[in-house]
Amino acid sequence: MNDKDTKKYHKTGKEKGLKKSNKYKYIQGKQITDHATGIRFYDFAGVRLPSVTTILAKTKDQTYLTNWKNKVGHEKAESIKNLSSKRGTAMHKFLEKHIRGIGYGDVTDIGQEAEPMAKKIIEIGLAPINEYYGSEVMVHYPGLYAGSTDLVCNHNDLESIVDFKQANRPKKPEWMDDYFLQVAAYAMAHDQLYGSSIRQGVIMICTPDLYYQEFKIQDTELRSWKHKFLKRLDHYHELIHDEKERAKVDPKLLLEEFEKDGR
């Protein structure tokens, strides 16, 4: 590594980030991963809650994924999955540092691929954001579930949950269900915990060849995805009945209330 690369790698200077608002005082939990199973949990004040991604993974139809692994081979599938995960993590790091106005560099091969992807999202996706309330925010619905959302912000004058994604190829709208369920779950938890009125979920996606896509769900459509997530949550608790017995809130009752009065 030469002097130029070293300077870039250790870059700590300030850059222009997004305008920060302290409208919400966020509660910090602790993320826990069960190394035996790989399942992610969140601990808030001693209460362990399943992550949104765990709930979606356990209740997802795995047929397409299984067929894909059989087609390309399990070893190659695992390699593609690991590369995508590392590239996504690197891209998120660039975005998080930019949002907070902190200079950041990564001269690894993965970092060099992820940086222009992050810049594409910054250039197009972050442009309509007036201010942000939190980056990498842990949210939880007391007694039910938790997760980490990439960004809570004011996007085109709407309070929004934003999630950044990397993709190996462009996405079709019909492939977006779990992403919509994810932001809907975060929005519902944020509203419950902080009394907010999140009106929009935004998914910002970039591929390695710098093709940018953006998918939004707002208001009535967002509420519909909250409803669908509650159904998945209820299914999750049916699959692990002992967890349901320990939950402080019965997801089935919550689903019934949601259907009855829209809350």
Model confidence pLDDT, tens digit, residues 120-139: 999 999 999 999 999 999 99
Q: Is residue 90 within 8 Å of residue 106, measured between CB atoms?
A: yes
Q: Which fold has domain 63-261?
A: Lambda Exonuclease; Chain A (3.90.320)
Of the listed ranges 73-77, 208-212, 242-246, the least confidently predicted one is 242-246
What pLDDT was estimated at residue 234?
A: 94
Q: What is the mean pLDDT of residues 222-245?
A: 86
The beta-strand segments (E) located in 128-259 are 129-141, 145-155, 158-166, 200-206, 212-218
Phi, psi of 246 (to 5 degrees): -85, -15
* pLDDT averaged over every residue in the chain: 87
State pLDDT tens for residues 163-182. Answer: 999 999 999 999 999 999 99
What pLDDT was estimated at residue 262?
A: 52
- ∠ CA 185-186-187 to the nearest 5 degrees? 90
Of the listed ranges 178-182, 215-219, 257-261, the least confidently predicted one is 257-261
Instruction: Provide the residue ranges of all domains of the chain, joining segments of one domain with +.
Output: 63-261
- ∠ CA 66-69-70 to the nearest 5 degrees? 85
